[in-house]
Amino acid sequence: MQSNDYENCFQIINMNNELDIFVDYLKQHNLRCTPQRNLILKIFLEMEGHVTVEDLHKKIRPEDPTIGIATLYRTMKLLIDAGLVEMHNFNDKTTYERLYMVKHHDHLICQICNKTVEFEHPLIEKYQQEVCDQHEFDLKSHRMELIGFCNECKK
């Protein structure tokens, strides 16, 4: 075990929640830890599911009415880069979803009522990797959305 292994070890032990990871990410990239960034992450983590910037802005205003919309966009981008958040674009609407420590899943999307159902299918994931291997692609992420009518709307 070499010195940077010790460091990695130390990091892993302490990286048991999103705030730690975010702070660590900021440090590693020579970015600064600010109350705005912390607050945005805190509020975001209190929200469930697929969150729009507008949702987030509304929820944050009571705690800090001065926070600017640009800072929201900037911070969400950082959270994505830090691997904590993923961005969706269902039905032409941008939403953000917690990613870290949450089981990966894909989405069924109803094109009538916009309801989404989350699922995961290990074999699909496996074959996705196979396809990438065949094409010598280094798979980093994927997007899979199954679009149709939900059980309510298909009636």
Partner DNA sequence: TTATATATTGAGACCCATTATCAATATCAA
Partner DNA sequence: TTGATATTGATAATGGGTCTCAATATATAA
Contact residues for Mn ion (CB under 5 A)? 97, 118
Instruction: Determine if 75 is a binding residue for DNA (CB under 7 A).
Output: yes
Distances (CA, A) of 72 to 9, 38, 43, 98: 32, 11, 11, 15
Binder among 102, 112, 117, 147 for Zn ion (CB under 5 A): 112
Stretch 91-130 residues interacting with a second copy (CB under 8 A): 108, 110-111, 117, 119, 121, 123-124, 127-128, 130
Binder among 2, 3, 5, 32 for DNA (CB under 7 A): 32
Rounded Cα gap, residues 24 and 15, in angstroms: 8
Closest separation in Å from C-beta 73 to DNA = 4
Which H or E element spans position 80?
A: helix 69-81
Inter-residue contact 56 to 47 (CB < 8 Å):
yes
Burial bucket for residue 80 (CB in 10 Å: 0-12, 13-18, 19+):
middle
Binder among 15, 19, 31, 80 for DNA (CB under 7 A): 31
Which H or E element spans position 48?
A: none
Which H or E element spans position 87?
A: strand 85-90
Closest separation in Å from C-beta 136 to a second copy = 4
Instruction: Determine if 50 is a binding residue for DNA (CB under 7 A).
Output: no
Q: Which is nearer to a second copy, 16 or 114 (CB)?
A: 114
Residue 34's binding partner out of a second copy, Mn ion, DNA, none, with CB under 5 to 8 Å set by partner kind: DNA
Rounded Cα gap, residues 114 and 141, in angstroms: 24
Interface contacts to DNA, rule CB under 7 A? 26-27, 30-37, 53, 64, 66-71, 73-75, 77, 94
